[in-house]
Amino acid sequence: MAAPAPPLIEVTDVGRTFADGTRALAGASLMVPAGAITALVGPSGCGKTTLLRMMGGLDAPTSGAVRFAGGARPRAAFAFQEPRLLPWRSVVSNVALPLELAGVPRGERRARAERILDRVQLAGAGRKLPGQLSGGMRMRASIARALVTEPELLLLDEPFGALDEITRQALDDLLLALWGEFGMTVVVVTHSIVEAAYLGRQVVVMAPAPGRVVGCIKPGFASRTPALRATPEFAASTASLLQMLAQSMVREKGAA
């Protein structure tokens, strides 16, 4: 049996209270294995996005700690549910924007943007404006923009939540292919149990009031292909996640 991947990120007893007194997190702890996909799943208000922002350096805990392997935060990139493309810039120009902000020469950044567009199956769309693309294509462009900097850590906040189910499944498969090619660590926030079980080498289950980690499963599928979704093995994993969530909500009501 292969040794487990070492943690890239360790979240230890983290709490986060906002200025208005809202306790987003309390005592949350988890480990994010290096080079793996970790899915964060749970109901609205359980602190999934807050944790993601802490991992990327956009927020900080009010108690506890977020530590990184080697002591330095890895190069991180975000993609969100809304693609957030600049409507007046071409797709290739949008994708190249992080390189432009980093001072990369124009020719190099365009070449790198075009290469990553090809990898997300948008090779012919570089000159178009975002408004000329479908929702799925805009999300592909958003992911390309995140990957163009070759991050060590890719942070995804409900990236496919606004898409129809067929497009969503296709983009889940694309994400798996990109992860296999680039080998970065991925943390993805999702409300979809099915998506979490399909993508996650580890699935962290969270519950609210305030946000906390209530469990973790590690689906041990031999491979992840579209056919997996129709197997009893996959159904058992999603059932385990649903049960874990249901039990946490019952405990929450009992404590209220």
**pLDDT digits 0-9 by tens, 92-119:** 999 999 999 999 999 999 999 999 999 9
Decide: helix, strand or coil at residue 49.
Answer: helix
76: tokens are 């991180």
pTM summary value = 0.93
Provide the pLDDT for residue 246. 83
User: Which whole number is the average pLDDT over 127-144?
Assistant: 95
Q: Check: CB of residue 171 under 8 Å from CB of residue 140.
A: yes
Provide the pLDDT for residue 252. 58
27-31, 209-213, 249-253: the lowest-pLDDT one: 249-253
Report the CATH architecture of 1-75+155-256.
Answer: 3-Layer(aba) Sandwich (3.40)
65-74, 193-202, 245-254: the lowest-pLDDT one: 245-254
Q: Check: CB of residue 109 under 8 Å from CB of residue 96.
A: yes
Q: Hey, what's the torsion of the CAs at 234, 196, 148, 75, to 10 degrees?
A: -120
18-22, 181-185, 249-253: the lowest-pLDDT one: 249-253
Provide the pLDDT for residue 87. 96
User: Which whole number is the average pLDDT over 237-256?
Assistant: 75
Q: Using the predicted structure, report yes or no on whether residue 208 has a pLDDT greater than 90.
A: no
- Mean predicted lDDT score pLDDT of the chain: 91
Provide the pLDDT for residue 161. 86
Provide the pLDDT for residue 245. 85
Q: Locate the domains of the chain by residue range.
A: 1-75+155-256, 83-150
* Residue closest to 214 by CA, chosen among 181, 177, 176, 243: 243
- Residue bearing the bigger pLDDT, 247 or 125: 125
- Strand 212-217's sheet: what is its strand order? 76-80, 153-157, 185-190, 37-41, 202-207, 212-217
Separation CA 72–CA 137 (nearest Å): 34
